[in-house]
Amino acid sequence: MSIVINTPNGNIGRPLVEKLLKEGRKVTVISRTAEKVADLVKQGAKWVQGSIDEQATLDAALAGAEELFWLTPPAMRPDFQDWATATGRLAAERVKAHGVKRVVLISSIGAQTGPGTGPVSVLKSIEEAFQAAAPNVVSLRAGFFMENLLRDVQGLAKAGALFSPNAETKRLPMVATADIAAKAAGFLLDTSWTGHRYVGVHGPRDLTYPEVASILTQVLGQPVKYVRVGLEDVRKGMLGAGMPSWAADTFVEMYGAVLDGRMDPAEPRSKETTTPTTLEHFASTVLKPAVERARAS
């Protein structure tokens, strides 16, 4: 049974491919360049050259496939929402045309809200497109990636501060991308589930940002304070860092949706949605080395 992975070079796609290959599964990866997937090909993956928004590429990859893993890549382009929606719908059309039986889709908390949630806005329509195309679809609605804290490395290293617009009492599910990959692998390797499902991927527990700062204080061995900032300050900070205005607007829209509850998980925390990697472990193994490098620079 062939499994197609549309994003084999990311923090979720790469460990997923490696896991599936170790389990002896036939895996097809889509990539524009050979160099980025050369190591995966050496491990046994089949490479299809091209872009995921090209029908010919999708047809070449999906021919004879039983399963598809689909993650909408965070392409930095002004037409991202139109592009992502059209690409997801194209992929769903080709899934139906090739009779692909199962789709494992990476979605997000807040996807149930639809428009008005920044980059998450596209995911509801993509979920629905795949559900219309395949008999078995699981949408993994992941929490906030712990890896997003890597954007705060400079603030942690230089100012000992964690900046965010979130209210001090707002609890958020935070999950390591390795756990999302493991969850996706579980569904791709298990052919017993059926129908259309939404599954939260929430990490070990929900955290407030002051709690995050406290954990980082312990792990980094330095005081870390939480500083709440306004949405306009967030926008100015992103623009000052060189982010295009359209991108800053998109992320500010998402942060606003977090503030008013539209990004709250639709799926309650349960044994199924809870994943093992703690923020303490992530911070000590991934974030701390990055902060130490920034201090030394």
CATH number reported for the structural domain that contains residue 88 in this entry: 3.40.50.720
Residue 13 included in any domain? yes
Mean pLDDT of the chain: 96
> What does the alpha-carbon distance between residue 15 and residue 180 come to, in Å, rounded to a whole number?
10
CB 201 within 8 A of CB 142: yes
Residue 138 included in any domain? yes
Residue 152 included in any domain? no
pLDDT at 99: 98
pLDDT at 19: 98
pLDDT at 59: 98
CB 3 within 8 A of CB 29: no
H-run or E-run covering 47? strand 46-49
Taking only the tens place, the pLDDT of each residue in 179-238 is: 999 999 999 999 999 999 999 999 999 999 999 999 999 999 999 999 999 999 999 999
Share of the chain above pLDDT 90, in %: 97
pLDDT at 187: 98
pLDDT at 16: 98
pLDDT at 78: 92
> What does the alpha-carbon distance between residue 217 and residue 7 come to, in Å, rounded to a whole number?
34
Taking only the tens place, the pLDDT of each residue in 1-53 is: 799 999 999 999 999 999 999 999 999 999 999 999 999 999 999 999 999 99
Q: Report residue 106 as tokens.
A: 């990476």
Residue 233 included in any domain? no
Residue 270 included in any domain? no
State phi, psi for 286 to the nearest 5 degrees. Answer: -120, -50
pLDDT at 75: 75
Task: Calculate mean pLDDT across residues 67-78.
Answer: 92
> What does the alpha-carbon distance between residue 142 and residue 108 come to, in Å, rounded to a whole number?
5
Q: Report residue 119 as tokens.
A: 């980059």
pLDDT at 1: 72
Task: Calculate mean pLDDT across residues 288-292.
Answer: 96
Residue 21 included in any domain? yes
Asked if residue 115 has pLDDT above 80, the reply is: yes
Task: Calculate mean pLDDT across residues 64-78.
Answer: 93
Q: What is the number of structural domains in the chain?
A: 1
Residue 207 included in any domain? no
Domain region containing 85: 2-145+174-201
Quote helix, strand, coil % in the chain, to nearest 5: 50, 20, 30
Taking only the tens place, the pLDDT of each residue in 251-279 is: 999 999 999 999 999 999 999 999 999 99
Residue 287 included in any domain? no
